[in-house]
Structure 1
Amino acid sequence: MSAPAAPALPPAVQAKCDPYLLSALLSQFAHYDDHADGGSAPLLSVGFTVVLPSAGLTAASVQATLADWVAAHPGARITDAHLNPLAHGARTAYVTADVSPTVLLLLGAAPFVTELQLCANPLPRRPLAARPTTPASPPAAPLRTANKKILATIDHGCAFAHQMLQNAGGTRVWALWDQDPRPDFDPAQGSTPIGYGYGRQVGRDVLNACVAPNPPVPGWNEDRCYAQARYGAVQSRLTHGMWVTGLLGSAMTSPSLTESGHAKPCHDAEDADLIFVQLPRAIPLAPGLGSIDRAVLDGLRYIADCAPDDAEIALVIDYGTDMGPHDGTSWFERALDALTAELLASRNVQLNAFYAAGNAHDARRHAVIWGEAAKVQSAAKLPWWLPMDNAAPVAMELWFHEAAPACELRLQAPGASAPLTIHLANDWLGTPPGMQPGQCVVVSKRMRGRPGQAWQRQVLIDVGPTQRPDNASGTPAAPAGVWTLTLTPTGSTLLQPVHAYTCWGGQNPGVPQRAQATRFVTPPEDMPQAGAVRVTGSGSVLGSGCGDSNQVWMVGGYERWGQRLRARYASGGGVRGGKRAAPLGVPPHQGVDWLAATEQSSALPGLLLLGTRSASRSRGRGTSFAAPQAARQWLAGTLTTDPPPTHTRPGPASVQWPRDEYGEPRIAPSPD
């Protein structure tokens, strides 16, 4: 990208940029996608915050300025729908955009822009082949339904022709919006939603015409239906989105969730419309913090725009991030809190977001440093393992409660001749000795804190792929193996606990794998951890849902058999701050809001879920399949819970490591 490198930016602009944006600018987007529309010209996805001053600027003048910038720079695009709150008296708006390098600098210098966040997709080695381009669809308003009950999700792959999603009116899917810059569906049959300016939406009438052509076609089946619709996201026989949508809207309850083990009719919220937001294809391939934030925030507002006034929306969000401050202060969490409050106040729309708690509890992706009270704090060493031949970039974040902690950071990369040593009392941006920015960038930056806590500090260690490039001119691979991070206190005042998070890795159903999991190195499970570092599942709740809104829920999983233990992977425990923290919250929330059954039996792991064809089922595991159970029952008014079990922890420890419990109520299975 031809944007200036981060050190060349004016200090006032640097102060507005989040650490990921600073890292990407320093590396000149070595492993972030700076072609948001899939074209050849540089175009960067960002999120930014507009704050109107008490005097001088008006909502109309800000909107006019942004419109002029977009008009003067071909390809640039701002999601105007996010500016609507300003026209109704709000002073703050959280906006997404695709911008050229020049517009990025204009936003950074604008007095009404207070922060900029990178929302670009991580760019793995050997990304998917470019999707074919199609003509743009004509603009049209988001497809508003008259139904005041809505079940929605933001995911990948919706089999709208599945028999379990049909009723007397055809498919229950009211609207499907494909957010990809090169979207599926026939351009002539779909439209580009006004206020968003990208992707393609199709409504129930178009979907029904694909499900049941008129006049009838002999031999018509679901394969031909999706080919006619030009919807390639369901070519695979299973997708994460269909697993979730099946639990959210299927006419039958999964056999894994009935007492008899047989499917049975499910009448919960059967009168609700379904709305599906199809994620850009790059996100299931290699999810990133910023790219998820942008897609989900746009999807949330689109779903709300499809709802009538006074509607109730139960929305399932399974794509989030394990990264972030885990205290509600991230850009996305503040935007989500503002959106739910705005919709309730302006249109009496109850947008309730049901988040999967995440599957990181036993993944060793969260650590707490100096978490136990001590009179003296010694140096803390945290080993971080990066797999060989990983095609995707990875990252680790450290979060300090202090804005200027008296602490020294030492980072030793595998095989490096010298470590990087920096003092964390001040902001810092650079690379470890002997490395290029495309291999590793370290950012230390003061960040917004909780109300009453002015500032805190984030340290980002942003590491490129450990897989070698395909040609000699490519960015060299980052070192694989164990990176050792050492924190040494340098002051007389004890530091508050420091939290470390590392990113997700794995494979999403129906797409190739590009991201492998990293982890913090710990002793074997039968040996206690010693020293100042504890690698733990406590506090590993997904970092996208820790805000203050009472309309954001967190759902984990439990095992249906025996003592109904919390599933080993289900993230839980108190987080750094906000309403889910303990003891700061009132009331304290030690864990998630509910647990739903996600494990059928010890012999049949996971749940039996719908495939993308009516005759197919497959098994899926994870808290992603807890959230839709809670959302559907909440909308139907049938959600009932059982108290958490009072059993002792299982053992013996030499065979089975004791499992944490956080007092989370279990959603009761529906009776036969």
Structure 2
Amino acid sequence: MNATVSSGHDFDGDLPLACDLYLQWAIETDYVDVPNARIDQDATTSVGLLIEWKTQQAASDAAELVHALVIHVPSVYLGGSRSAGVGKIRRVWALTVPTAKLPDFLRRAGRLATRIELAMPMAEGKLGAENVKARLSRSPVLAAVLDDGCAFANDRFRDGMGTRILWLWNQDPEARGAPLIAGRGPTPQANFGYGGQYSKGDLDDLFDTADGRQDQAYQGAGLAGMRRRATHGAHVMDLLTNTEAPWPSGADPWEIVFVQFPRGGVEDPSGIWLKRHALDGLNYALACAGSDTRTVVANISWGPQTGPHDGNSALEVGIEELVQAQADLDPPRKLIISLPAGNSYGTQSHARVDYADGGSFDWHVPPDGELPAFIELWWPKGVLPGAAALRITAPGKASVAIEPGKNAAPDKSWWARLKKIGDCVKVLVVVRPTYAPGPSGRMPGQHGRWHFEIAPTPSGIDGSVHAYVARANHNMGARRRAKASYLCDAALQASRFVAPASREEEALDSAIRRVGTLNGLATGASTYVAAGYVSGEFEIARYSSAGPTRGMALKPDFACLTDRSQARPGLRATGSRTGTTAVLVGTSTAAPQLGRMLVMGPPPVEYTPSPPRPERVGAGCLGAQPWLLRKE
């Protein structure tokens, strides 16, 4: 039986200024439409948060606060961990707060935090066996794959000593495996408290118990997604760690840590869930590194279309903190994080309107969507909330001015708020699921054309207002419950009738832009971002997202092979079982290639497009590994 998570909030006045708009939306709407907020009725409900504290002292004060409120925070964020630097409390935490304690926690934490962001609401897990055969990595290079679908029984990831998977953490709350509590994992600090984990010894025991039958081994580990012939995680892991590719002289194939994203997250394309699970996953992988491990290469082939796109999201700040913490170790350790550029170049998911001149565009929300539709708007730095002039016209309704404070629609079918987040003004608009009336008499969201108008504001402040639509295309192997919304205007409509050779270019005078579409997680200073190109003439992949961003990141770092030809898109790599292969399309295949090349040495640029397109391919196209070009 399912029950909706209730916020149980009792706030006097508004939420603290540090609270992000997604958290505000969730609390004000009692979590009715938050993806994956429906959980078992008998479970203890909690809310996942990602928090950036203002200063190191504020983080220390927060540590005292969570101790007083008896709120569990993983030890990696509180100091005493190799990955954090002994005794150093982090400034970015991922934690879970019981809903009953959330109001008091937010009131008291709000004065200490720069931002408090919503992650996935969750329940305490139903954990199984506790027989963990612990071991840290002895490999100079440790590969971390944060993805969906760990093919630990596939011969591609096995050698004479068994599986190369050193640790597997399944983040699903009801996952099988040992609990992540103190003393039950790679280190006592990896006490994240949810999901289930298996060490290399445990996985080898599962394989031996199944007499080498891969289906039974996956079933024994509780990996239901491995029933599929191919998984995103197996494909990416093959591209990152494949033993067919050349290895440095005398080096052994890398050991692997696999972080299995939760099922609810894989089925939610909004990106809300990713923040907490990605940061926890990176910390878990680093906890698995031994004293001989000098490099950790982590691949995250996921990412949202939304976010500030300036490198200052809480997750990106947390990643920067992790990279620096590894560099500060004695001896130092290098952390390489490879990310895809994204596949949104042609999805009409980004608009840009000059702040001084103003402009307008339409947001098309389709019918029969089972999840909410989200769009974010970000104003230039220096703009005050009162100077962010926005009007929204819902299909068949009168226009509404979005101003600081509450702007609830009369029929509760949509939600919009304007708020200053960090240095910028942000507006979040959420349209309820459009497929049917919701619970508690709430109206379904209105499908159709939503009109956004930004008034001219000649204030001397340069810059643009950027709009980003949350992605709604389903992830590989997930149920498709969302419907993709998109942006349009008259100028873009007119560009549909140009010659085919010009259809990849920007539409003249349109607010809808192909540039500026980089993965919302790929705008930080220390991550590496891979775009995609087509084999042969090194043509840029049509879907590969482009810079510049709203921050310092102007382009991807490099482009890697993602398509054999325009007629044969995608790359072939291993499936779930030994001897099987599958084709995966997208820049998810470029990111692991780039990560591998960065470990092996400086990548050689084989080709630079003419004319140069750095916003699409960065420094240029890297040569493909020979095994990727083999005949099929």
TM-score by length of 1: 0.82
- Residue deviations 1:292-351 (CA, integer Å, cap 9, x gap): 011000001110111124520111111211111111111111111111111221352211
C-alpha deviation, 1:192, in angstroms: 6.0
Total equivalences in the alignment: 597
Distance 1:298 1:36 in 2: 21
Three-state SS of the structure 2 residue aligned to 1:420 is: strand
TM superposition outliers: structure 1 runs of 4+ over 6 Å = 35-38, 139-142, 265-269
Distance 2:321 2:603 in 1: 26
Tell me if the contact between 1:560 and 1:597 (Cα under 8 Å) persists in the aligned partners: yes
For structure 1, list consecutive stretches of 5 or more residues without a partner in the other structure: 71-75, 123-129, 254-264, 449-454, 582-590, 650-658
Match of residue 429, structure 2, among 437, 461, 466: 461
Residue 106 of structure 2: aligned partner: 108
- 1:635-646 to structure 2, matched below 5 A, reads 635-637=599-601, 639-646=603-610
- Residue deviations 1:527-563 (CA, integer Å, cap 9, x gap): 58455x42122111111121222xx1000110002x2
Residue 405 of structure 2: aligned partner: 428
Residues 537 and 91 of structure 1: is their aligned pair in 2 closer, same or farther, counting only changes over 3 Å? same
Distance 1:421 1:288 in 2: 25
Residue 556 (str. 1) matches residue 524 (str. 2): no
Residues 16 and 325 of structure 1: is their aligned pair in 2 closer, same or farther, counting only changes over 3 Å? same
Three-state SS of the structure 1 residue aligned to 2:91 is: strand
C-alpha deviation, 1:16, in angstroms: 1.6
Residue 355 (str. 1) matches residue 302 (str. 2): no
Three-state SS of the structure 2 residue aligned to 1:632 is: helix
Residue 384 of structure 1: aligned partner: 363
C-alpha deviation, 1:641, in angstroms: 2.1
Residue 414 of structure 1: aligned partner: 395
Distance 1:575 1:225 in 2: 44
C-alpha deviation, 1:146, in angstroms: 2.0
Residue 506 (str. 1) matches residue 473 (str. 2): yes
Partner letter of residue 23 of structure 1?
Answer: W
Tell me if the contact between 2:354 and 2:465 (Cα under 8 Å) persists in the aligned partners: yes
Partner letter of residue 435 of structure 1?
Answer: D
Residues 144 and 67 of structure 1: is their aligned pair in 2 closer, same or farther, counting only changes over 3 Å? farther
Distance 2:368 2:8 in 1: 31
- 1:124-163 to structure 2, matched below 5 A, reads 134-138=126-130, 143-163=135-155
Three-state SS of the structure 2 residue aligned to 1:212 is: helix
Distance 2:167 2:478 in 1: 23
C-alpha deviation, 1:48, in angstroms: 1.7
Distance 1:274 1:662 in 2: 29
Partner letter of residue 322 of structure 2?
Answer: L
Tell me if the contact between 1:316 and 1:354 (Cα under 8 Å) persists in the aligned partners: yes
Residue 202 of structure 2: aligned partner: 206
Residue 330 (str. 1) matches residue 332 (str. 2): no
C-alpha deviation, 1:638, in angstroms: 6.9
Residues 627 and 31 of structure 1: is their aligned pair in 2 closer, same or farther, counting only changes over 3 Å? same
- Residue deviations 1:155-210 (CA, integer Å, cap 9, x gap): 1101111111111211111110011111134779x956743111111111111122
Distance 2:560 2:41 in 1: 39
Match of residue 496, structure 2, among 522, 525, 535: 525
Distance 2:307 2:153 in 1: 38
Distance 1:90 1:540 in 2: 36
- 1:14-25 to structure 2, matched below 5 A, reads 14-25=16-27
C-alpha deviation, 1:238, in angstroms: 1.3
Residue 320 of structure 1: aligned partner: 303
Three-state SS of the structure 2 residue aligned to 1:360 is: coil
C-alpha deviation, 1:225, in angstroms: 1.9
Residue 394 (str. 1) matches residue 378 (str. 2): no
Percent identical pairs in the alignment equals: 26
Residue 227 of structure 2: aligned partner: 235
- 1:10-409 to structure 2, matched below 5 A, reads 10-11=13-14, 13-32=15-34, 33-34=36-37, 39-51=42-54, 59=60, 62-70=62-70, 77-84=72-79, 88=86, 90=88, 92-110=90-108, 111-120=111-120, 134-138=126-130, 143-185=135-177, 191=184, 194-213=190-209, 217=211, 220-252=212-244, 271-309=253-291, 311-347=294-330, 348-370=332-354, 377=357, 379-401=358-380, 402-404=382-384, 406-409=387-390
- Residue deviations 1:200-245 (CA, integer Å, cap 9, x gap): 11111111122234xx84xx42112222333223111111111101
Tell me if the contact between 1:186 and 1:230 (Cα under 8 Å) persists in the aligned partners: no
Match of residue 515, structure 1, among 482, 490, 494: 482
Distance 2:178 2:91 in 1: 33
Residue 496 of structure 1: aligned partner: 463
Match of residue 534, structure 1, among 489, 505, 511: 511
Tell me if the contact between 1:52 and 1:58 (Cα under 8 Å) persists in the aligned partners: yes
Distance 1:646 1:529 in 2: 21
Distance 1:43 1:296 in 2: 18
Three-state SS of the structure 2 residue aligned to 1:482 is: strand
Residues 121 and 395 of structure 1: is their aligned pair in 2 closer, same or farther, counting only changes over 3 Å? farther
C-alpha deviation, 1:636, in angstroms: 2.6
Residues 361 and 112 of structure 1: is their aligned pair in 2 closer, same or farther, counting only changes over 3 Å? same
Tell me if the contact between 1:164 and 1:252 (Cα under 8 Å) persists in the aligned partners: no
Residues 51 and 494 of structure 1: is their aligned pair in 2 closer, same or farther, counting only changes over 3 Å? closer
Distance 2:19 2:605 in 1: 44
Distance 2:12 2:92 in 1: 23
Partner letter of residue 321 of structure 2?
Answer: A
Tell me if the contact between 2:411 and 2:442 (Cα under 8 Å) persists in the aligned partners: no
Partner letter of residue 404 of structure 1?
Answer: L
C-alpha deviation, 1:355, in angstroms: 0.5
Distance 1:84 1:35 in 2: 33
C-alpha deviation, 1:277, in angstroms: 0.1
Match of residue 591, structure 2, among 627, 634, 644: 627
Distance 2:105 2:88 in 1: 20
Distance 1:35 1:509 in 2: 22
C-alpha deviation, 1:593, in angstroms: 0.5
TM-score by length of 2: 0.86
C-alpha deviation, 1:140, in angstroms: 7.2
- Residue deviations 1:106-149 (CA, integer Å, cap 9, x gap): 33232544431111269xxxxxxx99x74455497985212221
Tell me if the contact between 1:366 and 1:537 (Cα under 8 Å) persists in the aligned partners: yes
Distance 2:69 2:372 in 1: 32
For structure 2, list consecutive stretches of 5 or more residues without a partner in the other structure: 499-505, 628-632
Residues 25 and 536 of structure 1: is their aligned pair in 2 closer, same or farther, counting only changes over 3 Å? same
Partner letter of residue 382 of structure 1?
Answer: F
Distance 1:392 1:121 in 2: 15
Distance 1:592 1:507 in 2: 24
Partner letter of residue 411 of structure 2?
Answer: M
Tell me if the contact between 1:403 and 1:447 (Cα under 8 Å) persists in the aligned partners: no
Which stretch of the first structure deviates more once superposed, 79-88 or 135-144? 135-144
Distance 1:399 1:143 in 2: 46
